[in-house]
A and B are shown apart, each in its own frame.
Chain A
């Protein structure tokens, strides 16, 4: 398997160009799907290869529970730099598994707790909470719900409220939380996938914005709804947490995008543009990653099979 076992660990880098270019050149729906799928495959392959390295690394440790034959020289010869790589892989895989578990567990806990908090309300799909602090959330669950406070609604005109509800409804109908959970787990599995997570967090918002614009029939109204709610929420104790400090934050970029023309609905960009090349680059990287990890897994399986005394 040789170097193939290491490739999937670094191939996520091939998705960086498209993660960067998608915002301006792809329809947000296409960007979300492409980046999430690429991130999922790359993360699975990278974790699989980490697991293979762990097997080889663990077999070298004295007192390990694996069959003795697995530490034979021919097994170790299958992995270049087996001593170092194997030993580093063990804590790395432990860290990946722990981080993914924490992420998934938190995700479920927040959803469960929020659902329980609204438990006493009658079964309407919109929960308007009497709270002066402005916030609005899409809450997927057994019963999909939009949670919005009177503080948020008070600051918006009726058209802008419709835009807000259409935006949250789009999150729920499009099951956006699944894309978000996928890329968050992927980013935990391989830190090189973090730019994809950031890009998907943004593209799901843009996707919901575009759906809302279609639903209310005015991009400008959605732009104003997004902009005004951000200004209302500023200084609110409930929506703090600056996640990234960049030149222009996500909200002004969303508003600017809505004030511009609608994105082209084309699913795949033309090949000979920067974003087209980037998309093909990411696809090629993902394919190579899948083949490399499959190759490494099958090779190691046969080597270990041969080394295991029957």
Chain B
């Protein structure tokens, strides 16, 4: 496992998808206006293929992190989310796709039944009066 991580560091081409997406998004956010895939590729540095950049941009578009606009035969891309926004979109996809995420991630609270909700409101109301402004 550690060996694998070492490889990642040694060969930048094998960076995780997530990291590349973040890099592309950061480059796009630094652009003065809508940018082409070629501009993004130059901005990141030469070791990525043009098609890879387009693939990543398309994936970001599917996630809703970038917008695109056709200009001639290619697209002009604009960032609509920042890094945290992209992380939020990705996290949502993880949570939505895992049926039993509750079994793995310890959520702060679990779901309420209608009965629970009534009970909870009563409990909170009873607890409320003495302590307000902390």
Contact = CB atoms under 8 A, between A and B. Distances in A.
Contacts of B104: 106-107, 110-111, 177
Residue of B83, B106, B126 with most partner-chain A CB within 10 A: B106
B contact residues, range: 35 or more
Contacts of B108: 135-137, 152, 164, 167-168, 226, 229
A43 B127 CA distance: 42
Interface in A96-124: 103, 106-107, 109-111, 113-114, 116-122
B110 A259 contact: no
A147 interface: yes
A230 B120 contact: yes
Contacts of A252: 112, 116, 119-120, 123
Residues of A contacting B: mostly: helix
B111 A239 contact: yes
Interface string A278-296: 0000000000000000000
Contacts of A147: 91
Interface stretch (A11-19, A125-133, A269-277): A125-133
21 contacts: A103-B103, A106-B103, A109-B98, A120-B86, A120-B87, A130-B82, A130-B84, A130-B88, A136-B109, A139-B105, A177-B106, A180-B103, A205-B106, A229-B109, A230-B116, A231-B117, A231-B121, A237-B96, A248-B119, A249-B110, A255-B123
Given A122-B83, A238-B92, 13 more contacts: A111-B105, A117-B90, A121-B84, A131-B88, A136-B109, A167-B108, A168-B106, A177-B106, A229-B108, A231-B124, A239-B107, A249-B113, A255-B127
Interface of B: 16-19, 21-22, 25, 81-88, 90-96, 98-113, 115-117, 119-121, 123-124, 126-128, 131, 134
